[in-house]
Amino acid sequence: MPATPEKEERDLSFQPVVNAAPRRLTRQQIQFYNEFGYVMPLSACPPAEATQNRAYFDDLLRKVQQARSDLDSYSINGFHACCRGLYDIVMNPVILDHVQDLVGPDVICWGTHFFCKQPHDPRKVAWHQDASYWPFTPARTVTVWLAIDDTDRENAAMMFLPGTHRHGHLKWRQVEKEKAVLNQEIENAAQLGQPVHDELKAGQFSLHADMLAHGSEPNASGRRRCGLTIRYCPPTVKSLNPRWTGGAILCAGAGGGAWTYHPRPDGENVNAIVQMIGAN
Answer for the pair 245, 259: CB distance below 8 angstroms, yes or no: yes
Amino acid identity of residue 106, one-letter, is D
pLDDT band at 276 (very low <50, low <70, confident <90, very high): low
- pLDDT at residue number 196: 98
Summarize pLDDT for 40-85 with one digit per residue, the tens: 999 999 999 999 999 999 999 999 999 999 999 999 999 999 999 9
Three-state DSSP state, 5: coil
Summarize pLDDT for 107-141 with one digit per residue, the tens: 999 999 999 999 999 999 999 999 999 999 999 99
CA 124 to chain centre: 16
Q: Put the strands of the sheet holding 204-209 in their side by side order.
A: 38-43, 204-209, 142-147, 225-233, 107-117, 249-252
Distance (Å, whole) CA 157 – CA 196? 10
Q: Tell me what percent of the residues of the chain surpass a pLDDT of 90.
A: 86
Summarize pLDDT for 132-167 with one digit per residue, the tens: 999 999 999 999 999 999 999 999 999 999 999 999
- pLDDT at residue number 7: 53
Q: Which of 254, 263, 130, 247 is nearest to 184 (CA)?
A: 130
Answer for the pair 22, 105: CB distance below 8 angstroms, yes or no: no
Answer for the pair 112, 80: CB distance below 8 angstroms, yes or no: yes
Distance (Å, whole) CA 78 – CA 273? 8
Domain spans in the chain, listed from the N-terminal domain onward = 27-274
Distance (Å, whole) CA 276 – CA 248? 17
Distance (Å, whole) CA 229 – CA 67? 23
For the whole model, what pTM was predicted? 0.94
* 146, 158, 244 from 2: Cα distances, Å: 23, 21, 11
* 30, 35, 57, 107 from 44: Cα distances, Å: 18, 23, 16, 17
> Mean of the per-residue pLDDT values for the chain?
93
The CATH class for the domain spanning 27-274 reads mainly beta
pLDDT band at 17 (very low <50, low <70, confident <90, very high): very high
- pLDDT at residue number 8: 57
**H or E segment to which residue 185 belongs:** strand 184-186
Residue 58: what are its φ and ψ, rounded to 5°? -55, -45
Summarize pLDDT for 219-273 with one digit per residue, the tens: 999 999 999 999 999 999 999 999 999 999 999 998 899 999 999 999 999 987 7
